[in-house]
Each structure stands twice: as structure tokens, then as C-alpha cells.
Amino acid sequence: MQGIVRLGAAVAVVYLIVGGAIQEAAAQSPQAAVAERQALMRANGGAMQILAPIVRGAQPWNSSIVAQASRTLVEDATKGKALFVAGTGPDRVTTNALPSIWERKAEFDAIFDRMTAAATNLVRLAEANDQAGFAAAFPAVGQTCGACHTPFRKPSN
């Protein structure tokens, strides 16, 4: 009986140590969070660079390319929202993210949700091969980019 208790305690201790280590590894350094955010934003920019000329008629319509780029936007919006955790602001690390993000977090998160919804709509329209509908829905995604960069990103110099 005592042996079982001892074994149980040992398992619990090992579990706590290993679990703690795993958790530690999962929590990013602020620098890593900023690097990941920036990579994600560049990917968004890349997707928009693919989509905008097609929407504006400078490149031919291709539903699979358009759907793929739209899916990138959906994924990035979902991931991006989770990367602005407390302690990754300009007081801790070099970043263009403004402190207003954490002062008005609900408003900030809501813009990401709007982007996810607007980009999901783009994926649907691309998969339906609805070129006109896609062109009409495209600016709504762009608006979420500007709506967030205006109050929450440091102007670039």
C-alpha cells in the first residue's frame, strides 16, 4: 500500500516537472512573439499582393490561387490574434505594436475577428468561383487591416 502511495507521489512529481517544462517551452519570449507576428504580417502582405491585382483586373482571375491566398489570411488572422499576449508590448521589446493594444484589448481582438470573418467569406466566394462577389467582398478585408493599423501600430518612419 505504502509502495503504491510512494509510486503515486513519484509519478505526480515527475508529471509536475515535465508538465512545467513543457509549459515553459510553450511560453514564447517577447522577441519570439514579435518575430512571429512580423512574419505573419509579411505573409498577409504577400497574400494581399496576390489578391489585389486580380481583384483590380491587372491579373487574370484564378479561383484556386485566390482561394489559397484567402486561406492564408484566415489562418493568419486566427493565429495573429493569439500572438499579442501580455508582456510583448513596447515596454518589454522592440516592436511597432502600440501600448493601446493592451489598453483596448477587446476592441483590438474584435478587429481580428472581423478579419477572420471577412477572409472566410473570401475563401467561400473563391471556392464558388464567384469573381464578382469576391471583388465586392475584398475591400472589407482591407478595411480591417487599416482599422487595426490606424490606432494600434506605430507609424513607420
Partner 1 sequence: MRRVAEASRRLRGVLAVAFVAFAAVAISAGTAHASGDRDRGAYLFAAGGCAGCHTDTKGAGQLLAGGRDIKTPFGVFYGPNITAHPERGIGRWSDADFVRAMRQGRRPDGGHYFPVFPYASYTKMTDRDLLDLKAYVFSLPVSDRPNKPHDVAFPFNVRALVFGWKLLNFEPGEYRPDPARSDAVNRGAYLADALGHCAECHSPRDRLGGIDANLRYAGDRNHAGAGIRVPNITPDPDTGIGKWSEDDLDAFLSMGMLPSGDFAGGEMGEVIANSTSKLTAADRAAMIAYLRQLKPVVHRVRGAPAQ
Q: Does 101 bind partner 1 (CB under 8 A)?
A: no
Q: How far is the CB of 10 from partner 1 (least distance, A)?
A: 54
Closest CA to 88 of 62, 59, 108: 108
Q: Which is nearer to partner 1, 125 or 148 (CB)?
A: 148
User: CA triplet 19, 23, 29: central angle to 5 degrees?
Assistant: 155
60-99 footprint of partner 1 as x/- string (CB under 8 A): ----------------------------------------
Residues 151/100, Cβ–Cβ less than 8 Å: yes
Binding segment for partner 1 among 21-29, 52-60, 74-82, 125-133 (CB under 8 A)? Answer: 52-60
Q: Which three cell numbers stand for residue 13?
A: 512529481
- Rule CB under 8 A: say whether 3 interacts with partner 1: no
For residue 77, which amino acid is it?
Answer: A
The three cell numbers of residue 47 are: 497574400
Among 34, 48, 67, 74, the residue binding partner 1 under the rule CB under 8 A is: 48
